[in-house]
Amino acid sequence: MTPADDTESTLKSPTVFALFTICLWIGLFSFGGGLSAWIHREFVTRRRWITEDEFMNGLALGQILPGANITNLTVYIGQRLLGPRGAAAALLGLLVGPFLAVIALVSLYETFADLAWLHRGLSGAAAVAIGLMFAVAVKGARRAARAYVPSLVMAATVIAVGFLKWPLLPVVAVLGVISVAMAFLRSDV
């Protein structure tokens, strides 16, 4: 049995309610981003419901599809785990709590908007979210760095978008096609 086979055999399958509850918890208690790191921790590390590769594939797919990356990722995970009902449960869980919380918080914010400590607290929450996103980016970069082609595609994307300021969509379209073509050529399909 290979290590990959061993990982696959230890994966557990959740109930619809458990999937909904975890996504509700994530949606309610995450602020300003960093959701992908939390989703990784809950689904890959703590519960072992999906593998690291499945998570990274879902994250990449969620980023290239239209819509919010995190909702795309939770739909992907829900679909992988429990099919259409899992996708619906994950998405509903992720969105229903924040929907109700935002309505309540906007009302409160209007009352306390002039308080300096509130603005400092929101700045701190934003810093934490950036740190969590950085952690996921580092994990993705480590995974991509294991192979030559993904490392080159990653470096080309950073250079083209980050330094040369080329538009993201055409860069991703071109490099995505190249990356998929190279992966297809390397496979035994």
* pLDDT tens, residue by residue, 48-63: 999 999 999 999 898 8
User: 18 is in which domain, residue-wise?
Assistant: 3-143
Please identify which residue in the block is written with the tokens 């086979």.
Answer: 5
Residue 96 tokens, joined? 């229903």
Confidence class for position 153, pLDDT limits 50, 70, 90: confident
| DSSP 8-class letter at 113 | T
Map residue 171 onto helix, strand or coil: helix
Return the number of other C-beta atoms located less than 10 Å from residue 125's C-beta. 15
Q: Based on the domain organization, do 41 and 60 belong to the same domain?
A: yes
Q: Based on the domain organization, do 60 and 104 belong to the same domain?
A: yes
The percent of residues above 70 in pLDDT, for the chain, comes to 91
Whether this model's pTM surpasses 0.85: no
The reported pLDDT for the residue numbered 105 is: 80
Mean pLDDT of the region 99-123: 82
Of 54-63, 67-76, 102-111, 158-167, the range with the lowest mean pLDDT is 102-111
Q: Based on the domain organization, do 37 and 88 belong to the same domain?
A: yes
* Alpha-carbon span 26 to 124, nearest angstrom: 19
Which residues, including other chains, have CB under 8 Å from residue 38's CB and lie 6 or more apart? 26, 30, 132
